[in-house]
Amino acid sequence: MPLIITILVLYIAVAVGIGIYCNRKANTVNEYVLGGRSVGPWITAFAYGTSYFSAVIFVGYAGKFGWNFGISSTWVGIGNCLIGSLMAWAIMGRRTRVMSKHLESATMPEFFEKRYLSKTLKVVAAIIVFIFLIPYTASVYNGLSRLFEMVFSIDYSICVIAMAVVTAVYVILGGYKATAYNDFVQGIIMLIGIAAIVIATLGSKGGFYEAIKQMSEQTGGNGPLANSQGAFASFFGPDPINLLGVIILTSLGTWGLPQMVTKFYTIKDERSIKSGTVVSTVFALVIAGGCYFLGGFGRIFVEADANGAPVGGFDGIIPKMLETLPDLLIGIVVVLVLSASMSTLSSLVLTSSSSITLDLIKPMMKGKLDEKKQLIVLRAFVAVFLVVSVVIALNKNALISDLMGYSWGALAGAFLAPFLYGLLWKKTTKASVWVSFIFGIGLVILHYVLASMGMLSGTFLGFTVASPVNLGAFTMVGSLILVPIVSLITPKMKKADIDKIFSCYDKRVVVHQREAITAGSEAVAYADGDAEASAPVKASSGNPSNGGKKKKKKKK
């Protein structure tokens, strides 16, 4: 116990120290919210990854879906790597950075205002962000506090409050840069920790092959292959359809979450995008792949009750698996989960407070809120958001996966399609954005009400109807279909306005010709300047002194 406490105290001291150090560089709104848009590739990639994966993944999702799907739950981690990280960076990274800077938007609601020329959209989006980030924040507290209860035997409520206080200190002091630098430290801890934990945990069951053998003897579960021996050690598991719902929610969801998308706002330059894509993808493969792979062995560590559910509940599976680890590894686990959780929390509270301050309070004050006052309000709302989420998190009976399912389903269901199409497609209309907002939020609220009344049961196309996870996946896919359909039948934006918005992708530059002598009929000149602005420039072969024009042959 003294060793674990020492590791924990050192970690908290480093986190708070970074907050104090960054306080000197958080004197403007731009620095506080976006880090001055000057964050390097490794810091940005780790900030993206650590905001993505928290105690919700490690304790809640890895435990529950490892129990339901066995080893095949590793596909969720692979989906997070390929769709949630690689494709997200490749498709959205550069365009988000370029257009958000061009429109001078610091938040996702502000992007909606300036992309679709609607202040009402900004206000509604900011309210959605504040309301539906709260249950996700509560789920993060929930996951970490369960682990602390196991290790320290500390009351759940004390864990929640202490974690909120530490997060508040370094976020209020240092803003985005404090969050990003802490994320880098936390990411390194997570990479080392997850590898050590997977090896040690499976080693306690005789190693990988013995653990696989024991998993192949497990029966039960739900789905078309339920009660089939070997299903939990198979490639697709006992229930591949509902496994697909988890992959969609946890992978595609990142494309529409404000706390994830705004990481692209802060990218420093073109090279940072390429490096960040690689680093973020590898990070996701190790962390998400490792967490879900570990959770897939839950059935050989925890017994099932008479109903086939794990004794102690789904959120108790991972803590139970870690009980037998040596003290040093348990200390690493505690810091790992604390790191993952605090990085996500800091991102959530900063996103929420900036949306409320910049998108709601500032416009209402009509110019009366100067730079210094904006920073005061931003910091105040960090505290307010943490207090509200703590109150919700004190209900420890709420299932982590359900809280996250409703939160991601509402946010990504409302925002994903309008944001993505807004970056890529000029014909996206304001009406389609409203349809997406109503569809995502309305469906989540309706599902929650009906589920609370016990009116949801059965399956649809193999998907469990009552599952908040499947609901979230449905809202995302549904909005991606609805937005283009509605855009085709509703009034378009003025051509002059849309051309001005998309002009950031079509900048023309004049460069010095570097290569003029070629073997073919055309020479290609390359810019010596910034890669973002440059592109190969074709020049007709001929005499350089006359601008590359071909000399006309004289008639004999």
Q: What is the pLDDT along the chain (556 residues), one digit of tens a residue?
A: 677 777 778 877 887 787 777 776 666 777 777 666 666 777 778 778 877 877 677 777 888 889 999 999 999 999 999 999 999 999 998 899 889 889 988 888 899 999 999 999 999 998 898 888 877 777 777 666 666 666 667 776 777 777 778 877 777 777 777 777 777 777 787 787 788 888 888 888 888 889 999 998 888 878 787 778 888 888 888 889 999 999 998 899 889 888 888 888 878 777 788 888 998 999 899 988 998 999 999 899 888 888 888 887 887 788 788 777 777 777 777 777 776 677 777 777 778 778 788 788 877 777 677 777 888 888 888 888 778 777 776 766 555 667 777 888 899 999 999 999 999 999 999 999 999 999 999 999 999 888 888 888 887 777 888 888 888 899 999 999 999 999 999 999 999 999 999 988 876 655 555 555 655 545 444 444 444 444 444 444 444 444 444 444 445 4
**Structural contact between residues 37 and 101, judged by C-beta atoms closer than 8 angstroms:** yes
In the beta sheet, which residues pair with residue 538? 524
Query: Residue 426 has what DSSP assignment?
Result: T
CA 74, distance to chain mean position in Å, is 18
Distance CA 419, CA 413 (A): 11
Task: Please tell me what DSSP assigns to residue 107.
Answer: S
- Strand duo 463-464 + 459-460: pairing: antiparallel
**Given phi > 0 = left and psi -120 to 50 = alpha, else beta, which region is 227?**
left
Sorted by sequence, the CB contacts under 8 Å of residue 327 that are 6+ apart come out as 1, 3, 4
Bridge partners, residue 522, by sequence: 540
**Residue from 291, 258, 245, 280 nearest 407 by CA:** 258
Beta bridge partners of 523: 539
Confidence at residue 165, expressed as pLDDT on a 0 to 100 scale = 82
Place of tokens 């069951």: 205
Are 407 and 60 a contacting pair, CB within 8 Å? no
Question: What is the number of alpha carbons within 13 Å of residue 96 lying toward its C-beta?
Answer: 28
Give the Å distances, CA to CA, from 352 to 132, 140, 150, 238, 424.
Answer: 10, 15, 31, 39, 26
Question: How far, in Å, are 138, 215, 360, 436 from residue 231 at the CA level?
Answer: 34, 9, 51, 38
| Residue 413 to residue 518: CA distance in whole angstroms | 53
pTM of the model: 0.79
Report d(CA 532, CA 274) in Å as an integer: 12
Instruction: Tokens for 398, please give them.
Output: 């709420």
Measured in whole angstroms, the distance separating CA 300 from the mean position of its chain's CA atoms is 31
DSSP-assigned states of every residue in 282-295: HHHHHHHHHHHHHH
pLDDT of the residue at 523: 46
24 residue type, one letter = R
Buried (b) or exposed (e) across 503-527, using 16+ Cβ within 10 A? eeeeeeeeeeeeeeeeeeeebebeb
Domains, the chain, in order of start with CATH, read: 2-22+34-396 (1.20.1730.10), 507-548 (no CATH)
Distance CA 266, CA 256 (A): 17
- pLDDT recorded at residue 528: 47
* pLDDT score, position 117: 92
Nearest to 470, CA basis, from 253, 261, 266: 253
- DSSP alpha helices (H): ranges in 204-257? 208-216, 240-252
Q: What is the pLDDT of residue 267?
A: 80
Alpha helices, DSSP H only, in 253-370? 258-265, 270-295, 317-322, 327-356, 362-365
Residue 291 Cα distances to 13, 51, 73, 297, angstroms: 27, 15, 9, 11
Q: What is the pLDDT of residue 547?
A: 45
